[in-house]
Amino acid sequence: MKKSIKRKNEMEKAQRAVACECIAVSQAASDPFGYYARMRHRVRRFILHVGPTNSGKTHDALQSLMDAGDGVYLAPLRLLALETGERLRAQGLRCDIITGEERSIEFGATFSSRTVEMFDTERSYRCVVIDEAQMISDPRRGGAWTRAILAADAPQIHICMADEALALVTRLIAMCGDDIEIVRHRRATGLSVEPEPLDGDPMPDDALIAFDRTDVLELAASIEARGIPTAVIYGALPWPARRAEAKRFATGEAEVLIATDAIGMGLNLPIRRVVFTATTKYDGKASRSLTTAEIKQIAGRAGRRGMYQQGFVTSTCRANDWLRHRLEEQVRPLTAARLAFPQELGMETAVPLTLLLKVWAKTPMSYDMLRRIDLTGPITIATMLEGVGAGSGTRFPSDRQTLLGMAFLPVDPQRDLDEVMALYQGLKRKTHPLLPGGGAWAHDYDTGEPRSLIRLERLLRTLGIRFAFARKLNIMDRAMEERFAATRMRLEHDVIVKVTGSKAALLERRLADEDEWNVRDEHGVWRF
């Protein structure tokens, strides 16, 4: 027994040494600036749009993109990629829309609206717009912004960001030897915190902010019971339903908006006053106070440009003084950008993928401005799949490429492991049970039985995971993609029907699905 343990320890030590050597000789891991330089073929001109929420940064950058006649918009969120793609199409421009969960391709498109993770670094553009670049420091996703800035091959690149990201982004660009122009944006309307908290009914054009989907619907039902029509927006709400609710609010059909912090990015709404109903949120790990940056992002939605001379902020939780202090406070400058794991390094088969990921995550960086992304999710998935033989062979589906692709699926490692395991096991069958044509797919998506709102949202989320899985592993054909699109459209229509109706009816249904509603869907995984 002792000899067996000793041999195992010696083997792990040897593999760790090999992993360290692989990382040391990988240019992508050791010298990202030199590695991404080979993807660029010109000196680039960066225009940095710096300013607060509601200051016209993205508007001006998108105008430059349209003027260029060719280019790509890179969004922080799936919903924002969809919104911007539709906005470009509404201008008569042919625009592809590509996210991790769907693709809408137009013949002869010269524009593309994508989530930042879906950026194609293999082609050149006339213009690139990178939005919400302050997310470059996000532990899980920041590497996608770093990659876009270092790899984008275009003569003109616009980056929209909050002020705290300016110094860091400027340093990154300087390391690439490119030109920089800084454009400062100011709010066209003032923003002030009211002296007293809200005590009574909300006013028309108010947006009440809660930080949990359950709280949003309960608050909406309570306000509707007083004869005030409401609209709701939260993270799990699919884009068509979110757009429908935004339209109801914009036209006055709904007088008050109830939303989570999902309104912080995208959708310019006619909000006169933002009302915080809480100052804490659950971030996936614990309940914590809102950060200064989060408060500024949300509060900044008040006082829409061109509609109001002034935006207002208040609370229902006696936090006005605290909010005023936070809005006056400067956000600390970001100090480090995140670096994504290089996929080609993951193809090194001399070392188990799990060990390679762990060693890479702990290897010191040569640049003080860079930090490695958090690989907790990919390590968890790789460990689980390697336990059933994934990555141990040379033929599909036991090959390393399949394991690597699945390790980086956009899933929540705390909640989606059963789905990921089922997706992998299904690869061993002639017809994958979880994909169109499979038995489990038919059970989940092809029945005509009535479904609750929470069930519809869960099905849409799972649909996105399965779409990403099929695309990443190159098992998606045209017929399958069309089936995914039709199913998504049908489910989203059902969500619109439910969410634009009585919110009290949704709460009544919630009681029958209490176990499902107790899961905090809002904070599981970014949708990209």
Which residues 6+ apart lie within 8 Å of 422 measured at CB?
433, 434, 440
3-state helix, strand, coil in the chain (%, to 5): 45, 15, 40
Residue ranges, CATH 3.40.50.300, the chain: 31-184, 190-328
Q: What's the mean per-residue pLDDT of the chain?
A: 90
Confidence tier at 511 by pLDDT (50, 70, 90)? very low
Question: 397: cis peptide before it, omega within 30°?
Answer: yes
Which CATH code is given to the segment(s) 190-328?
3.40.50.300
Q: Which one has a higher pLDDT value, 102 or 137?
A: 137
pLDDT at position 200 is 92
Query: The tokens of 155 are what?
Result: 């003569």
Confidence tier at 304 by pLDDT (50, 70, 90)? confident
Residues paired with residue 206 on neighbouring β-strands, in sequence order: 273
For the chain, the distance separating the N- and C-terminal CA atoms, rounded to the nearest angstrom, is 47
Q: What is the pLDDT of residues 108-150, one digit of tens each?
A: 999 999 999 999 999 999 999 999 999 999 999 999 999 999 9
- Token pair 């790509």 is found at 72
Q: What is the pLDDT of residues 207-256, one digit of tens each?
A: 999 998 889 999 999 999 999 999 999 988 888 998 899 999 999 999 99
332 — alpha (psi -120 to 50), left (phi > 0) or beta? beta
Structure pTM?
0.91
**CB contact burial 321-352 (16+ within 10 A = b; e otherwise):** ebbeebbeeebeebebbbbbbbeebbebeebb
Residue 510 has pLDDT above 50, yes or no: no
pLDDT at position 449 is 78
Please choose, from the candidates 236, 300, 229, the residue with its C-alpha nearest in 3D space to the C-alpha of residue 268: 300
pLDDT at position 526 is 46
Least confidently predicted of 2-6, 248-252, 330-334, 397-401: 2-6
Domain 31-184 has CATH 3.50.50.60: no
Q: What is the pLDDT of residues 141-190, one digit of tens each?
A: 999 999 999 999 999 999 999 999 999 999 999 999 999 999 999 998 99
Return phi, psi of residue 363, to 5°. Answer: -75, 130
Query: The tokens of 193 are what?
Result: 């915190």
DSSP per-residue codes, 277-316: S-SEEE-SS-EEEPPHHHHHHHHTTSS-TTT-SEEEEEES
Q: What is the pLDDT of residues 36-93, one digit of tens each?
A: 998 998 899 999 999 998 899 999 999 999 999 999 999 999 889 999 999 999 999 9
Residues paired with residue 276 on neighbouring β-strands, in sequence order: 209, 315
